[in-house]
Amino acid sequence: MPPDQQIRVLVVDDEALVRMGLVFILDSAEDIAVVGEAGDGAQAIEMAHRHFPDVVLMDIRMPVMDGIEATGRLRNMPRPPQVIALTSLDTDGAVFGTLDAGAAGFVLKDVAPQELCDAVRTVHAGEAFTSARATTRLIRDYRGNTARRKLDEARAAVALLTAKEREIALLVAEGRSNAEIAAATFTSLSTVKTHLQQITAKLDAPNRVGIAVTVALADLIQ
């Protein structure tokens, strides 16, 4: 594939072996090109200004500048790249800070090669990406550290959803794609997109991750 048609990716992680593995996976995809690597958030900002990546894979806990601050700065650039948070067992709680800073989704550091490439393609297309394997664990952590007021607000918001919208919201929380949701609910892709627009508006959710968190807080999933 011509270089100008490839998705340009910057890989950011303070562990060289992790970066090496991610770069190997991404460079094996014909439509993806790794344009740089960084070991901390400050280096990520510098590399982004130099190489203008389309997507940044962002570790969260790093020296010098962490992934939360770096994500916020990247998203405020004149040509902001999409950001995917890299999470592991000991950084789950911090993922929400990265999402609040503007990340479009998250994947586990031991993500399967196909899922990693799909995540890059999804956020590059302007959609949020949620890792099905990580979502339940992240939501459990978030629920356990959230004030009762937020739980009540989530339940009140979910009560505004129709039965079909609840069904679709649950599938979003499971990490299903729009195509998978359409197949599971026997509806067209355009109808699913319309429902998602209504769901995000009713839940005041910024993206699919926000939908997943809200329905989880409302005890729709365990």
Question: What pLDDT shows up at residue 222?
Answer: 47
Question: What pLDDT shows up at residue 56?
Answer: 97
Nearest CA among 211, 202, 204 for reference residue 128: 211
Question: What pLDDT shows up at residue 101?
Answer: 84
Residues 6+ apart with CB under 8 A from 115: 107, 131
Sign of the Cα pseudo-torsion (202, 203, 209, 215, in order): negative
Length of the chain: 222
Q: Collapsing DSSP states into helix, strand and coil, what is residue 37?
A: strand
The structural domains of the chain, ordered by start, are 3-138 (3.40.50.2300), 148-217 (1.10.10.10)
The residues pairing with 33 across neighbouring beta strands, listed in sequence order, are 8
Instruction: Give the predicted TM-score (pTM) of the model.
Output: 0.74
- Residue by residue, pLDDT tens for the chain (222 residues) are 777 789 999 999 999 999 999 999 999 999 999 999 999 999 999 999 999 999 999 998 898 999 999 999 999 999 899 999 888 755 555 777 787 788 888 888 888 899 899 999 988 988 878 766 666 556 555 555 554 566 778 888 889 999 999 999 988 887 788 889 999 999 999 999 999 999 999 988 877 777 887 887 776 554
| Residue written as token pair 């991750």 | 209
Cα dihedral value 15, 20, 23, 24, nearest 10: -150
Q: Collapsing DSSP states into helix, strand and coil, what is residue 82?
A: strand
Question: What pLDDT shows up at residue 87?
Answer: 80
Six-digit token pair at 220?
Answer: 């729709």
Question: What pLDDT shows up at residue 136?
Answer: 58
What is the residue type of 87?
T
Tens digit of pLDDT for each residue in 60-102? Answer: 889 899 999 999 999 999 989 999 988 875 555 577 778 778 8
Continuous H helices in 9-147: 16-27, 41-51, 67-75, 92-100, 113-124, 132-144
Distance CA 76, CA 101 (A): 10
Tell me which H or E stretch contains 55. strand 55-59
Q: Are 11 and 22 in contact (CB under 8 A)?
A: yes
Q: Are 94 and 101 in contact (CB under 8 A)?
A: no
- What is the distance between the terminal CA atoms of the chain, rounded to a whole angstrom? 43
